[in-house]
């Protein structure tokens, strides 16, 4: 019997139905040895819905206990020269960008360990967990443990990089898992970089690719829902971008240590950063007046010099006023008519979309900043 689950990202149970499918095999990855074995495959129903709260796409009709990756000798994974080359380039990009050399790397759901091998080339000690692994650990500096990874039991090493590639979409509690993982690292005083890669649902929806819906995949992430999931779990997001021709989403986040996460100091730094901007520039625009945007505006409003303008891309917010500060929200297109020195994007959640609009509408400014990682960072 199917079990109905809440949204794996926000845990709400408000949704809009997208598509229902019957007779879907339990595993599209496990191939039968014989015709009879293939015909005996368990069949289930898919009930793909869109969360009304966070817009995440997921299968709410799933029995996670039926899915077992333990030592399945018939298990097959997508592989091609193109995919293997992409994976190698992705690993190299992360190694170079974040200096992952002579470090300790963990991959949760590592498969046969091929991705870890790319990191091993740079003198990294690599440890992987995968219940389906049946090989022999015979590669120097690589150890693969044949079991499911437990965030509460297996966080006993100070890792520098933690990798989850095409794992999170298989979970019925994605945010809870990541939150538990992050808290476990924090309790151990460990502050690793966290890499998560998932399939991108953009082309699934754009091209109506119904065959993308499989029982093993509970979640179908968009840029927004992956961002929401990571932020809600407590990760400090560094970047989220597309890979493999837009078919995947890659995120790099930091697990902040509890000792260094002093909110009071962060607020003082934000205040000082904003004052420094005021001392250098005459006109400032804050872009984004939603929940996080309004909170950001409230934090810095007492330091305004009167030249600030608040804009938003959502027509529903135009000509309304931000809570407590009562600042009028303008249409972002008005920036074309004004000389704005600095644009501050009030939350990293909307950064990519806002930058696209700045470029699309040819809005001129001297500096673009975004409030992320508890500071105002330049994006131009």
Q: What is the DSSP string of 182-230?
A: HHHHHHTT---EEEEEEEBSHHHHHTT-GGG--TT--EEB-HHHHHHHH
Place of tokens 């949204």: 7
> With the C-alpha atoms ordered 350, 351, 357, 358, is the resulting torsion angle positive or negative?
positive
Spatial distance between the Cα atoms of 231 and 238, rounded to a whole number of angstroms: 11
Which of 378, 346, 347 shows the shortest CA–CA distance to 365?
378
Neighbours of 331 (CB within 10 A): 14
Give the whole-angstrom CA distance, residue 186 versus residue 208. Answer: 41
Q: Report the distance separating Cα 63 and Cα 272, nearest Å.
A: 51
**What's residue 363's pLDDT?**
92
Cα separations (Å) of 369 from 314, 331, 365, 377?
A: 20, 19, 11, 5
Q: Beta-carbon neighbour count of residue 315 at 10 Å?
A: 8
Domains of the chain as residue ranges with CATH: 15-66 (no CATH), 81-254 (3.40.50.150), 263-378 (3.40.50.720)
Q: What pLDDT score was predicted for residue 78?
A: 53
The pLDDT value recorded for residue 260 is 47
Q: What residues pair up with 253 in beta bridges, in sequence order?
A: 194, 237
pLDDT digits (tens), the chain, 380 positions: 557 899 999 999 999 999 988 767 665 555 556 776 666 667 777 899 999 988 899 999 876 555 655 545 444 455 678 999 999 999 999 999 999 999 999 999 998 899 999 999 999 999 999 988 877 666 778 999 999 999 888 887 889 999 999 999 999 999 999 999 999 998 888 899 999 999 999 999 989 888 888 878 899 999 999 998 998 898 989 999 999 999 999 999 999 876 544 555 666 778 788 888 888 888 899 999 888 888 888 888 877 877 789 999 988 899 988 876 778 899 999 898 888 999 999 988 888 889 999 999 999 999 999 988 778 888 86
- Distance between CA atoms of residues 370 and 21, nearest Å: 42
CA gap 49, 314 in Å, rounded = 25
**pTM, two decimal places:** 0.65
Burial of 263 (0-12, 13-18, 19+ CB in 10 A): exposed
Which two tokens mark 142? 């690589």
The full DSSP string for 287-323 is E--SHHHHHHHHHHGGG--S--EEEES-GGGTT-B-T
Beta bridge partners of 196: 164, 251
Provide the Cα torsion 215, 216, 218, 219; round to 10°.
Answer: -120
Whether the Cβ atoms of residue 149 and residue 129 lie closer than 8 Å to each other: yes
Provide DSSP, 344-370: EES-GGGHHHHHHHHHHTT---SEEEE
Residue 109: exposure state from Cβ atoms within 10 A (0-12, 13-18, ≥19): buried
Q: Which of 48, 72, 57 is nearest to 10 (CA)?
A: 57
Find how far residue 252's CA is from the centre of its chain.
8
């Amino acid at each position: 019997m199917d079990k109905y689950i809440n949204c794996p990202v926000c845990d709400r149970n408000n949704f809009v139905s997208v598509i229902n499918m019957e007779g879907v095999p339990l595993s599209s990855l496990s191939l039968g040895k014989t015709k009879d074995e293939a015909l005996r495959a368990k069949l289930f129903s898919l009930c793909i819905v869109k969360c009304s709260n966070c817009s995440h796409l997921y299968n709410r009709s799933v029995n996670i206990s039926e899915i077992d990756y333990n030592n399945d000798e018939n298990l097959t994974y997508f592989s091609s020269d193109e995919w293997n080359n992409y994976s190698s380039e992705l690993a190299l990009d992360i190694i170079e960008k974040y200096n992952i050399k002579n470090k300790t790397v963990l991959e949760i759901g590592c498969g046969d360990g091929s991705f870890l091998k790319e990191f091993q080339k740079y003198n990294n000690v690599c440890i992987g967990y995968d219940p389906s692994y049946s090989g022999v650990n015979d590669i120097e500096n690589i150890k693969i443990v044949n079991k499911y990874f437990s965030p509460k039991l297996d966080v006993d090493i100070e890792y520098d990089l933690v990798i989850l590639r095409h794992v999170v979409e298989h979970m019925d509690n994605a945010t809870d898992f990541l939150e538990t993982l992050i808290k476990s690292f924090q309790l151990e005083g460990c502050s690793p970089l966290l890499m998560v890669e998932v399939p991108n649902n953009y082309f699934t929806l754009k091209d109506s690719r119904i065959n993308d819906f499989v029982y093993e995949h509970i979640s179908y992430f968009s840029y927004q829902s992956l961002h929401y999931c990571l932020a809600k779990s407590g990760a400090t997001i560094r970047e989220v971008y597309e890979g493999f021709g837009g078919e995947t989403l890659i995120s790099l986040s930091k697990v902040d240590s509890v000792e260094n996460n002093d909110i009071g100091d962060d607020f003082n730094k934000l205040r000082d950063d904003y004052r420094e901007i005021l001392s250098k520039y005459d006109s400032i625009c804050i872009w984004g007046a939603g929940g996080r945007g309004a909170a950001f505006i409230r934090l810095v409003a007492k330091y305004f010099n009167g030249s600030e303008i608040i804009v938003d891309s959502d027509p529903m917010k135009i000509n309304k006023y931000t809570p407590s500060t009562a600042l009028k929200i303008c249409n972002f297109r008005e920036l074309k008519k004004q000389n704005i020195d600095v644009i501050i994007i009030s939350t990293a959640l909307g950064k990519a979309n806002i930058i696209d609009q700045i470029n699309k509408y040819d809005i001129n400014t001297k500096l673009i900043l975004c409030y992320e990682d508890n500071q105002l960072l330049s994006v131009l």
